[in-house]
Structure 1
Amino acid sequence: MALICRLAYIQVIEKDYLSNEADKRSLRIIQSISHRGNISDRNGEELAISVPAYAIWVDPKRVMKTYAFTEKQWQESKEVSHRSGKVTYNKKKFYSSKRWSALAEVLNYDLKKLAKIVSKPHARFVYLKRQVNDPIVKYIKKLKISGIASQLESHRFYPTGEINANILGFTDLDAQGIEGLEKTYNSYLQGVNGKKRVRKDRDGNVIANLQIISKKKEAGNLQLSIDQRIQALAYSEIKRAVKMNDAMSGSLVLLDVNTGEVYAMVNYPSFNPNDRSQYQAYKSRNRAIADTFEPGSSVKPFVIASALIYGKTTVDEIIDTSPGWMHIGGRIVRDGHNMGKLNLASILKKSSNVGISKLALRLGSDKLERTLAKFGFGNDTGIYLIGESMGNLPIRHNWSDFEVATMSFGYGFSATTLQLAKAYAILGSGGIKYPVSILKNSNPVTGERVISKKLAYKLVEMLEGVTQKGGTATKAHIDGYRVAGKTGTSRKADSGGYGDDYVAIFAGLAPVSNPRFAMVVMINDPAGDHYYAGDVAAPVFSTVMKSALLLSHISPDAVDLNYTLLESL
């Protein structure tokens, strides 16, 4: 009768209380981890992936309770240095079990530091180490230390290392993007963890799935427009050029002129995002979109385009540049030597400052500014990456004649490597401006016409002479392909005007008969014996562009050099 009464009491009167107590000990909410999405190149090669990892944590209160190690004993184990006043823990007075020494060793902890962490009797959760691999977790489980546990998380790994670091950026320990594409598309790549209520046994094993609290949302994957084969070669070449010429930095951008897709975007210096110990802020900057410079003579084609658009010259006009210099507003604009009478193509081929200045003075500042703005200078490129600079295209009403002249050969305003590449892509596309994209375009894109197809191809044809005999960039020549381009070697501004440091730029297109790619190479402050763009930047262009054309299966077009684009229209 006593047993029956007790059973009735438990099942009827104390039913809810005992059920609640049981639930407290067995019901748990666990997360279903949604790993961060992957980033791949246009061909599916992985550039950023998430791999399983673990965090090791400790419940100090449970440790103190399990091992009956009181706060008083902790106080007794303390040793205070009379000189420094620092508090330390005597190794001999720490837990006598060798398990703690083994734990400290595998986590690369000093035993005194580990003792300090677990000496917080009121704390319930403290991280010991994060981003730990599976073998270490298995080893720690074998130690069977009460209060030490692990939880699943993910580790971000970048297979290409420093090659794409400036573009991809990186994540923090909580898998949140803090630089580059990882930050720009953080919410898309992140996903949402799911939650469910389960019942566990005393050993922590799930014995019943009770309720789904929130469903897991899978993270999205990004496919970039980058071609990793070209990207890797481009990085190797820009790194080599910077080191060989003892330069401060360098960047390169390769665009598909018909879609605006970025096939390569590299910078040096860079860093390995898998090794955060070598991280330095200046190495993480995506210089191709963030660093601005005065583009020098690389803008001369756009000045000629403006003069032709507004009827200030004709394709066949001959301009006398003798005696190789001219006075403008009490100051002098000069060429390297007296080039005599030049047509428009020869002004580009020989990079005559006098010839281009005469055209700019006919235009005036308003028309010249308007044309440069149409080609994208002073505006964003549409790539939507964090840290992009719009450069500086000053708009004002009172320009002196000398300022207008210097603007015509690339001084007085600034641009980024990407902006300049986009401007040349407009020429290659037949005068159409496409928004720049770092993501692979799955659908055809529409652009905005800037200049006529006939004028755009005529300018490309003129620029071909720059890479031929007598031009300023013969080292940009590619066997089997017709190449068009323009050099730019501009002095860097300092507090007193312009110093003796230079920026070497080569911007170009290939193949001339049917342009596919536009590329800009920028070498910042080459300090070797050669600092002109034709010697420093043009060879990089030749090597990378040749590989891009071959890898993209573009047919050679240099069989008939008398063939012109205008004849094909």
Structure 2
Amino acid sequence: MKQARKPNSVPLASGRYFVLMGLLSCAFVALFARAVYLQVDKSEDLTGKADSRSVRNKEIVTHRGVILDRNGIELAVSVPVKSVWVDVTEIMKKSPTLAEEDWNRLAVIAKKTPRVFKQWLVKRKGRQFAWVARHLDPKTASMVKTLDLPGVYMRDEFRRYYPSAEITAHLIGFTDVDDRGREGLEKAYDDLLSGETGEEKVRLDLQRRVIEQQELIKEAEKGQDLQLSIDSRIQAIAYKALKTAVLKHRARSGALVMIDVETSEVLALLSQPSYNPNRFDSRHSKLTRNSAFVDSFEPGSTAKPLTVASALESGVVKASSKINTAPGRMRLNGYWVKDGKNHGVLDVTGVLQKSSNVGVSKLAHLMSDEEFLSTFYQVGFGVDTASGFPGESSGRMNFRENWSDIEKANVSFGYGFMVTPVQLAQAYAVLGAYGIKRPLSLLKLDQVEQGKQVLSKKVSRQVIKMMETVVGDGGTGQKAKVYGYRIAGKTGTARKADSGAYGDQYAVFFAGLAPVSKPKIAMVVFVNEPGSEEYYAGDVAAPVFAKVAAETLRLLNIKPDQVEVVAASDRAKGNNNG
């Protein structure tokens, strides 16, 4: 039997082995040396190059402050939204690989046809940033995210939302697509509401998504909140009543202003027709115009209480003085001043109750020009209210020296000068505060200003008592009555000038105070160019005052001051129940 042969042994070391190990060792040493070189000597240079490609300073978006009513109800808030932008350079590089269907979807989001959208991109060739669509709704934003197209990105933004929409539109205003105030209080207090954006250093991936937050450079500051003086409950009541009247009488426009007599805070302010500030397509200039602040009109007979106040202040008459208005007309400088009918001899109260043009004209001519106009200027006519509302008009009180008797007469019953509804409301608030004028405020006040006594308390009380007869039996404003409350006010129906002459169009007012025993609210209702058969202020504006005042006084928990009426009603109810 043959013995098995031992296999040939492999030597533990050979020349080739040592050569291979030497080469591998050299390679590892070279790699290590290279790594050390890159990590130590070239570290800053390479890090800089990497950061230049992936590290960016990113804006930290902040939102505007909230606008609130006096009770803390939100009137303007900011909601987070997504906007789409494109890196045109990146899209141009990868455009051949984009599916036609994806292009079509992106074009729809941009509200363009595919052909127009591609042309739009070509015109922006070389740009690294271009907006495609702003403030997307959640469904559209989700669709864009699903597309996941190269060069198409989304950014977080905020959009303004107005919960009360048309009801507060003219007062609050709105912001543009860049969230800057463009109308109303949004514009007036833009710096306060805007806040300041922040900035941080972040690292992005290839899809420009944030994968690392490296450093906070500047902290974002939220805009300050703004609390207004208006009561959204009263604003809603006034909106409904005024809109109903404007539609019913086919009027061109209207406005309503309500002021807290005790503080001079604005409780309600609106114009008609209104618009929805949440919709960009409804923001037409004709609709966004705030008539209460911007438009001025001849106030007509609502100015007569101021003429009477001037006469009482100057001492040329007393409340019991008699004025002969017969035969219901008088001729001045070749022009007639007329009343609706011959009222004969009236006391000063009767002049207001019957709204006698002849009566107030005679009162005006008993005074010097300075005495006559003093009350008009003292209550704020001729200057804006300093409310800060953008574009507020100061009206017009320009009278030439040595004016004629007819010009002076015209002013006495509300022609020949112009005021805004806000100015007229402020004037009546001065009467309601017994001659104290306080700065008008659109913001809720923590402390009420003392104000300035511009009319005597006695005269103010006398004029208020006279205006109460206007709403009573035989007066022109009987439809302004409010059950259980004593109301003082004045109607005004003024012809509007057209091409230098007075035409057949009217501006009608009702200005009033409630309750008479201790005035709390001053309100002006204005309706411009009513087109119905009823066009007198007593039929058009006075009912609006009654509706709004009645609900407001109950909301504010103001005790009824027409005690005898309430008591009689309660007795009648008791008898019926018995």
Displacement of 1:209 after TM fit? 3.4
Compared CA separation, residues 451 and 105, structure 1 to 2 (3 A): closer
Q: Which runs of 5+ in 2 are unaligned?
A: 1-28, 567-578
Q: Does 1:130 align with 2:134?
A: yes
Displacement of 1:343 after TM fit? 0.9
1:42-441 matches, within 5 Å, as 42-67=70-95, 69=96, 95-96=98-99, 98-119=101-122, 120-202=124-206, 204=208, 206-441=210-445
The aligned residue for residue 2 of structure 1 is 30
Alpha carbons 2:484, 2:565 under 8 Å: kept: no
Compared CA separation, residues 466 and 103, structure 1 to 2 (3 A): same
What SS does the corresponding residue of 1:210 show, helix, strand or coil?
strand
Displacement of 1:51 after TM fit? 0.5
Alpha carbons 2:383, 2:395 under 8 Å: kept: yes
Displacement of 1:46 after TM fit? 1.3
Alpha carbons 1:360, 1:368 under 8 Å: kept: yes
Alpha carbons 2:166, 2:274 under 8 Å: kept: yes
Q: Deviations over 1:473-512 (max 9, x none)?
A: 1100011110000011111112242111111111000000
Displacement of 1:395 after TM fit? 3.6
Q: Which runs of 5+ in 1 are unaligned?
A: 70-93, 563-569
Q: Does 1:514 align with 2:518?
A: yes
* Cα separation, 2, equivalents of 1:544 and 1:137: 44
Letter in 2 for 1:56: V
* Cα separation, 2, equivalents of 1:97 and 1:423: 67
Alpha carbons 1:58, 1:118 under 8 Å: kept: no
Q: Deviations over 1:355-384 (max 9, x none)?
A: 111110001322212221011111111211
TM-score (norm: length of structure 2)? 0.89
Which structure has the larger Rg? 2
Alpha carbons 2:109, 2:133 under 8 Å: kept: no
Compared CA separation, residues 404 and 102, structure 1 to 2 (3 A): closer
Letter in 2 for 1:113: V
Compared CA separation, residues 353 and 149, structure 1 to 2 (3 A): same
Alpha carbons 1:273, 1:279 under 8 Å: kept: yes
Displacement of 1:123 after TM fit? 1.9
* Cα separation, 2, equivalents of 1:108 and 1:205: 26
* Cα separation, 2, equivalents of 1:512 and 1:556: 10
Compared CA separation, residues 196 and 309, structure 1 to 2 (3 A): same
Letter in 1 for 2:316: K
Alpha carbons 1:233, 1:544 under 8 Å: kept: yes
Alpha carbons 2:375, 2:455 under 8 Å: kept: no
Displacement of 1:203 after TM fit? 5.6
* Cα separation, 1, equivalents of 2:282 and 2:368: 50
Percent identity over the alignment is 45
TM-score (norm: length of structure 1)? 0.91
Q: Deviations over 1:56-75 (max 9, x none)?
A: 011121123345x4xxxxxx
Compared CA separation, residues 95 and 210, structure 1 to 2 (3 A): closer
Displacement of 1:13 after TM fit? 3.2
* Cα separation, 1, equivalents of 2:89 and 2:210: 24
The aligned residue for residue 478 of structure 1 is 482
Q: Does 1:456 align with 2:460?
A: yes
Alpha carbons 2:510, 2:525 under 8 Å: kept: yes
Which region of structure 1 is more displaced relative to structure 2, 384-393 or 104-113? 104-113
Displacement of 1:97 after TM fit? 5.4
Compared CA separation, residues 496 and 146, structure 1 to 2 (3 A): closer
Displacement of 1:201 after TM fit? 4.6
The aligned residue for residue 80 of structure 1 is none
Which region of structure 1 is more displaced relative to structure 2, 341-350 or 212-221? 212-221
* Cα separation, 1, equivalents of 2:233 and 2:139: 34
Letter in 1 for 2:104: S
Compared CA separation, residues 192 and 305, structure 1 to 2 (3 A): same
* Cα separation, 2, equivalents of 1:112 and 1:17: 45
Alpha carbons 2:89, 2:128 under 8 Å: kept: yes
* Cα separation, 2, equivalents of 1:200 and 1:530: 69
Alpha carbons 1:369, 1:395 under 8 Å: kept: no
Alpha carbons 1:365, 1:399 under 8 Å: kept: no
Displacement of 1:98 after TM fit? 3.5
Considering only aligned residues, what root-mean-square deviation do their CA atoms show, in Å? Answer: 1.8
* Cα separation, 2, equivalents of 1:395 and 1:43: 44
The aligned residue for residue 448 of structure 2 is 444
Letter in 2 for 1:293: F
The aligned residue for residue 37 of structure 1 is 65
Which region of structure 1 is more displaced relative to structure 2, 239-248 or 413-422? 239-248
Which region of structure 1 is more displaced relative to structure 2, 507-516 or 397-406? 397-406
Q: Deviations over 1:300-330 (max 9, x none)?
A: 1111111111110012111121111122233
Q: Deviations over 1:409-438 (max 9, x none)?
A: 011111110111100001111110011111
Displacement of 1:108 after TM fit? 4.4
Displacement of 1:11 after TM fit? 2.2
The aligned residue for residue 39 of structure 2 is 11
Which region of structure 1 is more displaced relative to structure 2, 442-451 or 188-197? 442-451
